[in-house]
């Protein structure tokens, strides 16, 4: 049961981050499609920052789970957020 809740939290974290990344890219684009914005961000070196901004929705999901006393799901969201932080650090290095 605990493992299932952590996995659900991780899935919610990934989905929230993906939606946040899409919304962030939508705000930045000026008539371009999503893929073009991601390619331009990668070429210009701010893809890590874009992904980090997308992780803001993880904060909302985390606090919703904490408020509902679903601590293991909140732990899953937190694990994905840490993974995203490490990923952005690696992207910044290369």
* Span 25-60, pLDDT tens digits: 888 777 778 888 888 888 888 888 888 888 999 999
Please calculate the CA angle 50-22-20 and round it to the nearest 5 degrees: 70
Using one digit for the tens of pLDDT, what is the confidence trace for 49-92? 888 888 999 999 999 999 999 999 999 999 999 999 999 899 88
Residue 54's domain comprises 2-93
| pLDDT for res 66 | 96
| pLDDT for res 81 | 95
**How many structural domains is the chain composed of?**
1
- Residue 49 structure tokens: 């920052």
Q: State how far the Cα of 34 lies from the Cα of 16, in Å rounded to an integer.
A: 17
């Amino acid at each position: 049961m605990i493992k299932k809740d952590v996995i659900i939290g991780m899935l919610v974290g990934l989905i929230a981050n993906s939606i946040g990344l899409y919304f962030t890219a939508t705000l930045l684009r000026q008539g371009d499609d999503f893929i073009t914005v991601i390619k331009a961000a990668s070429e210009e070196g701010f893809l890590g920052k874009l992904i980090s901004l997308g992780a803001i929705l993880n904060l909302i999901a985390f606090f919703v789970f904490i408020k509902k006393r679903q601590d293991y799901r909140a732990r899953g969201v937190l694990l994905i957020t840490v993974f995203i932080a490490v990923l952005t650090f690696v992207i910044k290095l290369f």
